[in-house]
Chains A and B, each alone.
Chain A
Amino acid sequence: MSIGDSQVRLCHLYPDHLNIYADRGNIAVLARRLEWRGLTLEITEAGLGDPIADDCHFYYLGGGQDRDQMLVAEDLAHKADPLRHAAEDGAVVLGVCGGYQLLGHGYTAADGQRMHGIGLLDLETTAGSSRLIGDVVLDVTLNGQSRTVVGYENHAGRTYLGGGCTPLGHLRRGHGNNGDDGCEGAVAGRRVGTYLHGPLLPKNPWLADTLLGWALDHAECPVELEPLDDDLERSAHAVAATRAGRKR
């Protein structure tokens, strides 16, 4: 297999506007974990007004401030078709925080104003009166494997899932999608959305590798991701889970 065959193409959407919770940490984890296995992540960035290709294997949307998220929402409508094609073809789509909300049908603000999403995930978000903030621990099952996932949440939106997707995880600690139903995030096929940052992937290497496995499969790159020495990741995960249990 040549290097050319081993490439996973990732499209990082709106890195200048959706970057509030250190989203580049997630990208760094995806790139390094491939690199350490002799594979390459080819990253293209697409901002406001930039066209996107529909043949990437992984699309990433981070979180932004309200003002930036509004700018992005208008622009994302023009990128919805290639994104939908890619997702239907089997590409991975990961949205975190604001990016998660934009993957749904839309966001209704407190004053009734509506920001449209692109409907890649069957979910609706409305503004809450308070922000849901703090450490989170989830039980997550993907590909028949169950693990805990840790992170930090900070969002005013209350997200409710429709029948077209299932929760990413069930809460052990934290508020999750809406503070009511014990669920966090959403999954439909290889489309994943979550409020968790911290960032999400450094302390959850299993989740990172699951997403990379899907992307490699979509890239028709028949590689088994061999295990890495994740001692530091496991320790950071354990510390975060313990910190989530405390009163502060």
Chain B
Amino acid sequence: MPSLPQGLAARAARGAGRLSQKLGRGGGTTIPGLLLSRLRPEATAEMARSVSGGVILISGTNGKTTTARLVRAALDTNGARVVANTAGSNLERGVATALLDADGAEIALFEVDEAALPGLMAQTEPRVVTLMNLFRDQLDRYGELEHLVDRWRGAVAELDPAATVIYNADDPAVAEIAARHPNTVSYGIEDPRVGRDRLPHAADTTECRHCGASLHYEMVTIAHLGRWSCSECGLARSQPDVQATRVELHGLDGQRLSIATPRGPIELSLRLPGMHNSYNALAATATSIALDLAPEAFGPALAKREAAFGRAERTQIGNVRVTTLLAKNPAGANENIRTMLLEDHPLHLLVLLNDRTADGQDVSWIWDVDYELLLDSGRLASLTVGGDRGYDMALRFRYAGFDPQRLSVVPSVSAGLNTALGASETDGHLYVLPTYTALLEFQAVLAERGLVPAFWEDE
């Protein structure tokens, strides 16, 4: 098919999106972009170029949604008109759909799937790219982590030298890629009190990217993130430009961060729990500084942000406070577990495991999660497992040493919630740990019961 003129292609694509929503089929956040890229393949690049203040891309295995929300809050403080894919797909089609509504936007902010990043970097010629982390995730969809690292390296090499790369200095794979770029702002955690002394068993990047020798860690924060160096060739983490000098975690209530930046120190109180969110806040801070935003203004804005959909989101059901913690890969699930263990009440859990395309069809990853920490704590008071592959999760806990007699397997999300609520009623706290599509199902169940507003989310 020959490429249609921009105006005509855009009108056709918008029309298709409206029609789909009218027909009640959802898809409003991807269909127009998908159609547009068929009608006029160069449209994404053209639309991106028309955004006067440039394009910001935020990518990584974990934390991109929350970080994009934080950057959005920071941008809103200076009144810029922002176009973003906040409710939509983070693939190319989602970005294209968002850009269709970019009329008059001064700046574009997109969270981008890690595999889609290289393509979108080439098309949108971003002003700022924020590279957060690369963890093992969905091997059936993304392939080996090494291949993703190679593709990111190629994309950074092709990037306009004037663009700014924000990167996580604590992730050796990401740091090695990004540090080659001439214009960077790095971030990392310096506070030794939150460090762990050894790598978890399923850490991904433990060899020097340069010489292949084993990396030495002075401090480990999350998975393979930390203060790393190579004893063979001398490649080492450099002192980050934006660094958390003090991290004070307050369980699920949030945290306080003292951050040193080139623009002076910032004190941040966040409503977001866990060290993974410390990294998200650092990424957002570094990105905001690269955008010339003033810390006095964006600091308070970050503090007000609640967790993104399903990321430590809280809902009251009767007398039970339900906290939802999305868990889609070992690194994320391990941080959820550590965050829950900071709470001082008995832990009642509803773990929901699906194996659909957006979750990854291979459920092997649950064996790399340290659920043993929950058992070792002696505070796992009740356990309900469900979802399409609930029995796989049941086996995971059985072989961790949990008594199967104390375990309820309830594949249906709605019935599983009832079982878990019943078990947690006396203690008043329930934690729901869903994979991505299980989270959408869970959200739909809550919406049916009138507990949360209905929500469209694609993929």
Contact = CB atoms under 8 A, between A and B. Distances in A.
Interface string A56-67: 000000000111
Interface of A: 15-16, 19-22, 24-25, 28-29, 32, 65-67, 71, 131, 133-135, 152, 154, 197-199, 202-203, 229, 231-233, 235-236, 239-240, 243, 248
B146 A66 contact: yes
Q: Which 5 interchain pairs have the tightest Cβ spacing? A: A22-B367, A25-B367, A236-B391, A22-B364, A235-B391
12 contacts: A16-B206, A19-B201, A20-B136, A21-B139, A22-B366, A25-B396, A25-B399, A66-B146, A134-B140, A232-B395, A232-B398, A248-B356
Contacts of A16: 206
Chain B binding surface, main DSSP class: helix
Interface-central residue, B201, B206, B391, by most chain A CB under 10 Å: B391
Contacts, number: 96
A152 B361 contact: yes
Contacts of A22: 202, 364-368
Interface string B37-51: 000000000000000
Contacts of A19: 201-202, 368
Contacts of A21: 139, 362, 364
B450 to A, nearest CB: 32
Interface of B: 136, 139-140, 143-146, 201-202, 206, 212, 355-357, 361-368, 388-389, 391-392, 394-396, 398-401, 404, 409
Chain A binding surface, main DSSP class: mixed
A219 B143 CA distance: 40
Given A22-B364, A198-B362, A232-B409, A154 B399 contact: no
A25 B357 CA distance: 23
A239 B391 contact: yes
Contact of A32 (B139, B143, B363, B399): B399
A233 B395 contact: yes
Nearest to B389: A239
A212 to B, nearest CB: 14
A16 to B, nearest CB: 7
Contact of A65 (B140, B146, B361): B146
B401 to A, nearest CB: 8
Given A21-B364, A152-B364, A239-B391, A202 B212 contact: no
A21 B363 CA distance: 9
